[in-house]
Structure 1
Amino acid sequence: MNAALTAFMMQQLGCIHDAAAAASCSQSCIHDAAAGSLAAFMMQQLLHHECSVAPASYMQCTAMDGNQQVLPLAFAVVDEETYPSWKWFLQQLSRHVIRGRRGMCLISDRHGGLIKAVREGPDFVSPHGVHRYCLRHVCSNFNSTIKNVVLKDLCWQAGSEYQLRKFNRIMDEIKKQDVKAFAYLDQINKEKWTASHDGGWRCGILTTTMSECINGVLKGARRLPVSALVEINLQRTVHYFHMRAIKGQKMLQNNQLWTDFACKMFISWQQKAVEHTVTKYSHAQQSASVVTRRQSRHGMNTHVVKIANRECSCGKWNQFGIPCSHAQKVCGAYNISAASMVKDYYDVMAYNNTYSKHFEPVQSEDYWDDPNFQLVHDPTIRTVTRPGRN
């Protein structure tokens, strides 16, 4: 296995292979998917962690690119999901991927060992970065305690609302139906699980679903040797980079300013802006109130936009980095280009830079180098057999 891991890793630009024993991680490795991944990591500044339990545990870190596609950054195979293994994984991530960058946002489940490891590290605590919870996991844990599907749905609605007034309204409804359910959610730090209190760190990402989709791809490989798992990860990542590099070139040929995701969202909100009514207030702050058009069951809502601060009370501009329909209406009123307000990480050139790195094919086993190290198994975690058996 040593030679296989070395062959897979050392021939790829930007890859790290660390098979040294660490805490309870007797056979561990971390793999930075590619040097090009770092552009996306900085671009969205978003990490996702998930662990699937097999004979060993598989940990992974992914990000989102500017087209809202999952981008593998790092993975590790450890003995089990524990505080020491999470601490080791975060240390390797800090050393090889984050590298002192600030403004990182980590989204994960609420595993006790992971939370403890995050609190002890500098990268995801103020003022360096933040830690957020996967909303789907919060709702699942909530339902395990409350055991009420209707309230679980309300929990999801509360966590996914971008507007504070709508969040408060849903929480009042939960309190009306079940005081204990309200108390359960109220004791969780609202910044950790709600979009309305997040402050724009999540970039619109509420769950670790994108990380779990990779888990699904690897499901059939869980009983394979670690070297096979590494090879599957490499092949999958190479495929991602190859196909997305082609897609990026097509975007350039079409003279797109932004990725497909950003273009679609910007145009959709641009069309909605036509129906709004705007009242200008402060030229210095470029602020205004915007009233939406009345429709059958909703509308006639008032939102406050401050272009100078790049914020709208609807919360969407702050989350997605794309001017919402209300912001675009106010931009028009002040003769400002709304397109200039779109975040740089949606730029097509940034997308192409993300996938500009290449991978080298792995040669036949006859050409593999001697890894010059030997894995040492930890005898303290040896599987106990029945007495009398060898």
Structure 2
Amino acid sequence: MDGNQQVLPLAFAIVDEETYPSWKWFLQQLSRYVRRGRRGMCLISDRHGGLIKAVREGPDFASPHGVHRYCLRHVCSNFNSIIKNVVLKDLCWQADSEYQLRKFNRIMEEIKKQSVKAFAYLDQINKEKWTASHDGGWRCGILTTNMSECINGVLKGARRLPVSALVEITLERTVHCFRVQAIKGQKMLQNNQLWTDFACKMFISWQQKAVEHTVTKYSHVQQSASVVTRRQNGHWMNTHVVKIANRECSCGKWNQFGIPCSHAQKVCGAYNISAWLRIIMI
């Protein structure tokens, strides 16, 4: 994914089927030609047995080189195939996609209250793999593999072609996508736009929410503060701790997206610091 939350295709592979040997080979090629010693790569996938085994046996997606995360849509689908309860499936998705640990725990307690079996199923999965609240910022806000499915649209009609024709049309359509994105990038630069459209849109959205917040409990030495939010009906709600130097907020969104959340922007304003310059993704 690029800084505009759009797919940036780097590698394709043609294999006979999804198996452990084919996934192992693909990950080896990915390491050799794409990762090339870089750290910080996050692999998001379904829970295919062959892929999980291949990931476990290789060093590329284990700390400190990178991490492996599960697609939340697949987690919920697998969950529902066993639990078979629409209400619990919705709660599963809420737990998956919640960035705040406090809210995640509350949702999990509700799941446990409704079904011990459902709670036990989710609890046995490594939380770093499937929850936004325990992710540590690796996903950059990407919770599912849905975006990668758009590549299927780009390559529509090519799969049943002979291999040589398949490779040729894949290259042609991928190059076209790169050209389109390059033109967009050039326009941003010509307009002196520092950040991507995605980053700007999210920043402004959170900037509007920051108006309703109040900053309390300053710590000038650590450049941190507590921020109190409130509901639309005027009742005071939650408190979040923002640490500007560490670029983090207890709500989890700054760490996840790299963009100062509404709480962080409020604290930056209190310290007369530009929140725009605290964006850490381009």
TM-score using structure 2 length: 0.93
Runs (4 or more) in structure 1 with deviation over 6 Å come to none
Asked if the contact 2:101/2:134 (under 8 Å) is kept, the reply is yes
Q: Deviations over 1:38-89 (max 9, x none)?
A: xxxxxxxxxxxxxxxxxxxxxxxxxx11111111111111111111111100
1:242 is displaced (CA, Å) by 1.1
CA distance in 1, matches of 2:53, 2:263: 41
Q: Deviations over 1:107-132 (max 9, x none)?
A: 11111111111111111012211110
1:178 is displaced (CA, Å) by 1.0
Q: How many residues align?
A: 273
Pick aligned residue for 1:325 from 254, 262, 274: 262
CA distance in 2, matches of 1:278, 1:136: 37
The corresponding residue for 2:209 is: 272
Q: Deviations over 1:220-246 (max 9, x none)?
A: 322211122212211221111111111
Moved more, 296-305 or 146-155: 296-305
CA distance in 1, matches of 2:24, 2:231: 52
Asked if the contact 2:155/2:173 (under 8 Å) is kept, the reply is no
Q: Deviations over 1:312-366 (max 9, x none)?
A: 0111000000000100110111122xxxxxxxxxxxxxxxxxxxxxxxxxxxxxx
1:297 is displaced (CA, Å) by 9.1
The corresponding residue for 1:173 is: 110
Pick aligned residue for 2:248 from 311, 314, 331: 311
1:215 is displaced (CA, Å) by 2.2
Structure 1, unpaired ranges of 5+ = 1-63, 337-390
CA distance in 1, matches of 2:256, 2:31: 25
1:299 is displaced (CA, Å) by 5.6
Q: Structure 1 297/119 Cα, relative in aligned 2: closer, same or farther at 3 Å? A: farther
The corresponding residue for 2:185 is: 248
Pick aligned residue for 1:191 from 128, 136, 156: 128
Question: Is 2:166 aligned against 1:229?
Answer: yes
CA distance in 2, matches of 1:249, 1:281: 42
CA distance in 2, matches of 1:299, 1:220: 55
The corresponding residue for 1:134 is: 71
CA distance in 2, matches of 1:104, 1:135: 18
CA distance in 2, matches of 1:189, 1:119: 14
Asked if the contact 2:213/2:230 (under 8 Å) is kept, the reply is yes
Q: Structure 1 114/196 Cα, relative in aligned 2: closer, same or farther at 3 Å? A: same
Q: Deviations over 1:202-259 (max 9, x none)?
A: 0010011111221243343222111222122112211111111111111122211111
1:102 is displaced (CA, Å) by 1.1
CA distance in 2, matches of 1:298, 1:72: 47
1:298 is displaced (CA, Å) by 7.5
CA distance in 2, matches of 1:172, 1:232: 50
CA distance in 2, matches of 1:297, 1:170: 24
RMSD in angstroms over aligned alpha carbons?
A: 1.4
TM-score using structure 1 length: 0.68
1:294 is displaced (CA, Å) by 2.8
Secondary structure (helix, strand or coil) at the match of 2:236 reads coil
Larger-gyration structure (1/2): 1
1:153 is displaced (CA, Å) by 1.1
Q: Deviations over 1:121-177 (max 9, x none)?
A: 111012211110000010111111111111111111100000011111111111111
Which structure ranks higher in relative contact order (CA pairs < 8 Å, sequence separation ≥ 6)? 1
CA distance in 1, matches of 2:69, 2:157: 30
1:293 is displaced (CA, Å) by 2.9
Structure 2, unpaired ranges of 5+ = 274-282
CA distance in 2, matches of 1:231, 1:153: 42
CA distance in 2, matches of 1:174, 1:225: 49
Secondary structure (helix, strand or coil) at the match of 2:234 reads coil
CA distance in 2, matches of 1:225, 1:173: 52
The percent identity for this pair of structures is 93
